[in-house]
Amino acid sequence: MAQPLVFLGPPASGKGTQAQRLAESLGFSYLSTGGLLRRALKDGSTLGEQSRPYLDRGEYVPDEIIVPMVLEWVSGKQGQWILDGFPRTLPQAETLDVALTNAGKVLPRAIVLKVPDEELRRRVTGRIECESCHWTGTGHGSDYCPKCGGTLSAREDDSTARFENRLREFQKLVVPTIRYYKEKSRAYTIDGAGTPDDIHLAVCDLVKSGA
């Protein structure tokens, strides 16, 4: 039975890029909670307005907003799926496990990308994102997305102050989540400081091996 995946790592670690590339390569369903929230902000939807105060401060969106949305998405998936940006907190990880167990579904394993803080700061200063498909990169030499042709722009959450706050939030909230998956023997750490292609190959090899 196919085992679902969650991608965990600090901001600018490349988890979104790698999660999306893996989903496209292997045909898995994919949900980026960060991309979904940024799109909701741009559209001015109810979800966007509820999330705006937290995102403006560089904080994670609280469970009462994000958890129901993710669980609804997961409940409709039968095959392999990937979550990017969830779970971010220990209660979210535990809630996801309980929901899947109650539904008789396989519990996810975590792919953890490890990148030094200095490299994260270097990456975030030049990061761009497609407004249409949410492809992300650190420089492309064009105003248009290489994937879908959409418009590229700097990410709104990549100001220096927001990034430093997000990094502190990661240490406080996500690190215990990573520890939870490690204690369950369901976490696999990958060096995220290499090139995107090298990291993608490492992730693919790990998933295909079923290690």
* Residue 146 maps to a domain: no
**What CA–CA distances, in Å, run from 2 to 33, 99, 211?**
22, 17, 13
Range of the domain at 79: 5-117+157-209
Query: Does residue 155 contact residue 127 with C-beta atoms inside 8 Å?
Result: yes
**pLDDT greater than 70 at residue 140:** no
CA dihedral 100, 58, 33, 50 (to 10 degrees): 90
Helix %, strand %, coil % for the chain, to 5? 50, 15, 35
Q: Give dist(CA 93, CA 180) in Å, integer.
A: 8
* Residue 163 maps to a domain: yes
Here the CATH number for the domain that contains residue 193 is 3.40.50.300
If pLDDT is split at 50, 70 and 90, which confidence band does 1 have? very low
* Residue 132 maps to a domain: no
Q: Is 54 helix (H, G, I), strand (E, B) or coil?
A: helix
- Structure confidence at residue 139 (pLDDT): 59
Number of structural domains (the chain) is 1
Q: Which two tokens stand for residue 101?
A: 């167990």
First to last CA, the chain: 14
Active site residues: 15, 88, 127, 155, 166
> For the segment 48-104, what is each residue's pLDDT rounded down to a tens digit?
899 899 888 878 788 888 998 899 899 988 889 999 989 989 999 999 999 999 999
- Structure confidence at residue 159 (pLDDT): 66
**What CA–CA distances, in Å, run from 92 to 68, 157, 173?**
10, 22, 10
Bridge partners of 129?
136, 153
* Residue 69 maps to a domain: yes
